[in-house]
C-alpha cells in the first residue's frame, strides 16, 4: 500500500484519480460480464428451442459438463435472457438487455 504524507496534496490527488480509474474499470467489467450472461442465456434458449421435445435436459447436462457450467447457472442465464435483464445480487441493480 502506498503511504502518503499529510502534506503531499499532489500525491493524494494522484491516488484519488487512480482510484476513480480503477473503479470505472471494475464497473465496465461488471457490465460486460452481465452482457455476456445474457448472451449465454440467449444461446441456451436457441439450443433449447432447436431441441426435440424431451431431449433438452439430457443435452443440457452434456453442455454443462462440456463447459463446466452448472445446470442451475444455465437455467439462471436462460431466465435472465427470457426476462431481458440480469439482476446483480449485491446491489439489486438491473442490466436491461439490448
Q: Is residue 82, in this structure, part of any structural domain at all? A: yes
Average pLDDT over residues 80-97: 65
Residue 92 reports pLDDT greater than 50: no
Q: Is residue 51, in this structure, part of any structural domain at all? A: yes
Task: Give me the number of domains the chain comprises.
Answer: 1
Q: Is residue 15, in this structure, part of any structural domain at all? A: no
C-alpha cell at 57: 435436459
Q: Is residue 50, in this structure, part of any structural domain at all? A: yes
pLDDT band at 54 (very low <50, low <70, confident <90, very high): very high
Q: Is residue 96, in this structure, part of any structural domain at all? A: no
Supply the range of the domain harboring residue 53: 35-91
Nearest to 31 by CA among 98, 79, 78: 98
Q: Is residue 12, in this structure, part of any structural domain at all? A: no
Q: What is the rounded (10 degree) CA torsion for 2, 8, 11, 12?
A: 80
pTM above 0.85, yes or no: no
DSSP 51: S
Q: Is residue 39, in this structure, part of any structural domain at all? A: yes
Amino acid at each position: 500500500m502506498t503511504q502518503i504524507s499529510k502534506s503531499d496534496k499532489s500525491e493524494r490527488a494522484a491516488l484519488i484519480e487512480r482510484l476513480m480509474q480503477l473503479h470505472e474499470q471494475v464497473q465496465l467489467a461488471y457490465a460486460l460480464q452481465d452482457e455476456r450472461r445474457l448472451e449465454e442465456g440467449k444461446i441456451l434458449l436457441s439450443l433449447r428451442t432447436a431441441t426435440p421435445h424431451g431431449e433438452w435436459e439430457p443435452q443440457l447436462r452434456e453442455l454443462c459438463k462440456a463447459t463446466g457450467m452448472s445446470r442451475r447457472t444455465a437455467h439462471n442465464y436462460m431466465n435472465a435472457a427470457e426476462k431481458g435483464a440480469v439482476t446483480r445480487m449485491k446491489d439489486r441493480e438491473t442490466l436491461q438487455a439490448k
